[in-house]
Amino acid sequence: MRVKVADFGTSFLETKCRETKGNMGTYRWMAPEMIKEKPYTRKVDVYSFGIALWERTTALLPFQGKTPVPAAFAVAEKNERPPLPESCQPILAHLIKRSWAANPAMRPDFSDIVSTLEKYDECIREGLPLTSHSGLVNRNAIIERMKGCVSMGSFIPVHA
């Protein structure tokens, strides 16, 4: 039950990210801009993190029932993402949705992700209530549920 991250020798300096194109990765976790072979930045890793967090939260394979190529087509051409279960904690659902945003500029930085997860962990350790939420998650609903635990600065609204 531990997450391990590996790049299998495909990493490179960020200064070359903007020039890089190509499908280096695993389709189920690959960002739309990589699938489309467009120039990309470090935000492709944020997208992959969002998929991995979804996987960790649901204990399911992303795009189960699809082979990798149709899964990639669904992400890149139809803007599909794996379904979030109603039982997913609102703070995690919000973080996952932000991380896999179609527009890379809307994805959070890893410093924001770490801050959010640290606050989530703090809530868990302090026994503060984390209620399930069905339907759309909005900034105010999350903040109300996490009052005293999550600061306003940690959340950026999801743009669907």
Q: Let me know if residue 5 belongs to a domain.
A: no
Which CATH number is 40's domain given? 1.10.510.10
Q: Let me know if residue 8 belongs to a domain.
A: no
First to last CA, the chain: 32
pLDDT of 114-155, one tens digit each? 999 988 888 888 887 664 333 334 445 544 544 444 433 444
Range of the domain at 125: 17-154
Q: Let me know if residue 96 belongs to a domain.
A: yes
Q: How many domains does the chain have?
A: 1
pLDDT of 62 > 50? The answer is yes
Distances (CA, A) of 62 to 17, 51, 55, 59, 120: 25, 7, 6, 9, 23
Q: Let me know if residue 36 belongs to a domain.
A: yes
- Mean pLDDT, the chain, as a whole number? 77
Written as one string, the DSSP assignment of 113-148 is HHHHHHHHHHHHHHT-------S---HHHHHHHTTT
In this prediction, residue 5 has a pLDDT band, given cuts at 50, 70 and 90, of low
What tokens were used for 57? 């939260």
pLDDT of residue 8: 54
Of residues 144 and 46, the one with the higher pLDDT is 46
Q: Let me know if residue 6 belongs to a domain.
A: no
Q: Let me know if residue 99 belongs to a domain.
A: yes
Q: Let me know if residue 12 belongs to a domain.
A: no
Q: Let me know if residue 52 belongs to a domain.
A: yes
> Using CA atoms, how far apart are residues 133 and 97, in angstroms rounded to an integer?
14
pLDDT of residue 134: 32
